Amino acid sequence: MRLSKRITSILIISILVISIGFSAVACLPIATSEKEGAQTAEPGGFADIFASYGTWVWLAILVVAFYFLLIRPQRTRSKKAQELMSSLQRGDEVVTIGGIHGRIKDIREDVIIITIASGVDIKINKSAVSKKASK
């Protein structure tokens, strides 16, 4: 988990540095020269390209940032939750989202029956299981 936080922080810092560099280049004036009363623009290189396609560059940066900061972590969380639900077995000790600890008595399609004390069974949805309790 620490490695992914490091990678995320490096990505954020590099995106910020790149965006500051782009905005600094975009603020440079385009070089012009005056010849016989007429002004002609000389090619300014990267600044001209960024002035033409700057909006698309910012849009691409936003898409990449949204992917790495929102979409990708959500996919990994949902994948872990799906793996947890498919790996539940009878006799496993689980903790629900509400903090109830119990042992699985029966598993059905979308419902699990959990024994929380002797003679006390509750019926919950599979999606309400947050984790398996460590033994």
Tell me the DSSP string of 19-55. Answer: HHHHHHHHTSPPPEEEETTEEEEPP-THHHHHHHHHH
For 98, phi and psi rounded to 5 degrees?
Answer: -80, -5
For the chain, give every domain's residue range.
2-87, 93-132
| Mean pLDDT confidence for 64-92 | 91
Non-local (6+) Cβ contacts of 40 within 8 A are: 32, 33
State CA 71 to chain mean position distance.
4
- What per-residue confidence (pLDDT) applies to 30? 58
What is the model's pLDDT at position 25?
A: 64
Percent of the chain beyond pLDDT 90? Answer: 41
What pLDDT, in 10s, does the model give residues 88-115?
999 999 999 999 999 999 999 899 999 9
Cα Rg of the chain (Å, integer):
28
- From residue 60, give the alpha-carbon distance in Å to each of 2, 15, 68: 27, 11, 12
**In the chain, which residue ranges form alpha helices assigned H by DSSP?**
2-26, 46-66, 72-87
User: In this predicted structure, what is the pLDDT of residue 38?
Assistant: 55
pLDDT, tens digit (0-9, with 9 covering 90-100), for 39-58: 555 556 666 766 777 778 78
Between residues 43 and 69, the one the model is more confident about = 69
Mean of per-residue pLDDT scores for the chain: 82
The answer to whether the pTM exceeds 0.85 is no
